[in-house]
Each structure stands twice: as C-alpha cells, then as structure tokens.
C-alpha cells in the first residue's frame, strides 16, 4: 500500500478459494473485519468480496464499510494484466484495458467530514459535520482521476494558520480531476458574518492537496490569532471583498 494520506489496520478474517490451483483460475476471496481502522479511527465493520477468472484478467470487487449511520459502498475493477491481444504495443492499448487500470464507483453516507484532515495535515483542525457522496475514480493506479458530487451538511473547520473557525449549513461540492470545487457554499464566522466561497481544494490525482479559494463578503473574520499563536504577529482582523 503506497498512499501516504491513508493507513489501514484491523484484525481480518479471510476465505480464499481457487478452482484450479495449477492454472490459478477461478479466484475468489472474502475478507471481513469487525473493526476497521483508517488512520487509527474506527469505521466499523469492513467486508470485501473479490473475484477474478485468472491472474491475467480483470479483478472485480465489492467493498462495504458500516458503523451506525456511517456507511460506504465501493464497486471496483482492476486490471491484473493488459487485457486483449498481447501482440499490441502497450502504448496502443486503450487505457481502460492496460495493466493496473482501476475503475471505482464509491458511494458514501453519513461520513464524517473530519476525514479531510487526513489529506490536509495540520492545515485544518476541529473539522465536524457529515457528507454524502457519489464518486467515480478512474485511471492507472498511480495516476487516478476523480469526478463526482459531494454534499456536506452542518459542518465547520478551523484554519490552523489563522485560528479562524468557520461553519456552514450545507455545501454542494463538485469533484473534478484537479479540484474539490465548493463554489457557492455559504460559510459563517464566529460573529455570524457570512461569505460565499469561490473555488476550493486543489489536488493532483488525489495527492498534494492545496487551497485555491477566495470569498465574497461585506464583512468577515480573516484572522483570529491570540498572543503566542504566531511568532511574527497576532490579533483579530475583519475584511471585505
């Protein structure tokens, strides 16, 4: 597993069946865990069913995760080898038929928004709220493109560098191959002032997250630093834009 933002752990039960051991055909596996951890957070019961005709075919899997009202369902296809005519040069093989190509449809319900901190490190803290999502993730395993829709509700977060805490009631986020676009979401500062977001969080194939957003507002809290929060300056600043 080579994806720094996420680390998985748990105690797993596994059942593996191979119809023909010598030809390695008819591959089936079922993996379950009653307590599945992502970055040391418990996300409940995990289940995965995976099948493949052989080691040179496409692996199909179905993954579920559930804890109370939090759930996830993932359908995935993964090419164990180049599919089709082996005489065709790799550069001429259509991308969806190349080895290591991944095609994922992921649905989420009642998931905690705090998982955003897995990718943003210490840049965002005190994140709360829940989201639902329907995402499509496709591409070679090391160069994935993601699209889909996310709806976040009753959320909030603190920008660590500025110590400003913002909240929102509902935000519709459009996921594109390089941006989590939250344009149109209304956020509130601790005084009840509002601002409309334009832009969102950038990414490069679901890695290297960054912020590319501005806010339209008449009055909004932009800095809320107490003495000692920053070596260079501190204070409270409200602005318009």
Quickly list DSSP for 71-97. EEEEEEEEESS--S-TTS-GGGS-GGG
**Mean pLDDT, rounded, of the chain:** 92
Looking at per-residue pLDDT, the higher value among 44 and 1 belongs to 44
Q: Kindly give, in sequence order, each residue whose CB lies less than 8 Å from that of residue 133, ignoring residues fewer than 6 positions away.
A: 106, 107, 108, 111, 148, 149, 150, 151, 175
* Integer Rg of the chain from CA: 22
Q: Would the CA dihedral through 236, 200, 120, 107 be positive or negative?
A: positive
SS3 per residue for 18-35: EEECCCCEEEEEEEEECC
Distance CA 21, CA 36 (A): 30
- Indicate the pLDDT class of residue 141, thresholds 50, 70 and 90: confident
Task: State residue 89's pLDDT score.
Answer: 62
Q: Is the pLDDT of residue 1 over 60?
A: no
Count CA atoms within 13 Å of residue 155 on its CB side. Answer: 25
CA 23 to chain centre: 37
Task: State residue 27's pLDDT score.
Answer: 97
Count CA atoms within 13 Å of residue 100 on its CB side. Answer: 6
Task: State residue 3's pLDDT score.
Answer: 62
What is the pTM (predicted TM-score) of this model?
Answer: 0.86
Backbone φ, ψ for residue 123 (5° rounding): -70, -25
Quick: pLDDT tens for 57-111.
Answer: 999 999 999 999 999 999 999 999 999 766 656 668 899 999 999 999 999 999 9
Distance CA 152, CA 172 (A): 7
CA 104 to chain centre: 12
| Residues in the chain, overall count | 241
Task: State residue 212's pLDDT score.
Answer: 87
- Indicate the pLDDT class of residue 233, thresholds 50, 70 and 90: confident
Strand partners, 103: 77, 138
Task: State residue 90's pLDDT score.
Answer: 60
- Residue 57 tokens, joined: 């075919």
Quick: pLDDT tens for 186-232.
Answer: 999 999 999 999 999 898 888 888 888 898 999 999 999 998 887 78
């Amino acid at each position: 597993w080579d994806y720094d933002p996420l680390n998985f752990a748990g105690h797993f039960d596994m059942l593996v069946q191979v119809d023909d051991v010598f030809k390695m055909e008819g591959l089936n596996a079922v993996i379950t865990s009653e307590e599945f951890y992502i970055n040391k957070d418990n996300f409940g019961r995990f289940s995965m069913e995976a099948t493949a005709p052989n080691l040179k075919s496409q692996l199909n899997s179905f993954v579920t995760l559930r804890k109370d009202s939090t759930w996830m369902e993932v359908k995935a296809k993964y090419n164990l080898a180049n599919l089709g005519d082996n005489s065709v040069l790799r550069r001429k093989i259509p991308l969806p038929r190349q080895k290591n190509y991944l095609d994922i449809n992921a649905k989420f319900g009642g998931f905690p928004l705090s998982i955003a901190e897995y990718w943003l490190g210490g840049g965002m803290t005190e994140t709360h709220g829940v989201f639902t999502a329907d995402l499509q993730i496709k591409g070679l395993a090391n160069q994935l493109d993601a699209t889909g829709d996310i709806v976040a509700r009753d959320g909030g977060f603190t920008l660590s560098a500025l110590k400003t805490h913002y909240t929102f009631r509902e935000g519709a986020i459009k996921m594109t191959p390089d941006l989590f676009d939250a344009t149109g979401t209304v956020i509130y500062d601790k005084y009840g002032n509002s601002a409309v977001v334009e832009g969102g969080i950038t990414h490069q194939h679901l890695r290297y997250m960054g912020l590319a957003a501005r806010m339209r507002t008449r009055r909004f809290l932009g800095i809320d630093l107490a003495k000692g929060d920053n070596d260079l300056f501190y204070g409270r600043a409200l602005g318009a834009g």
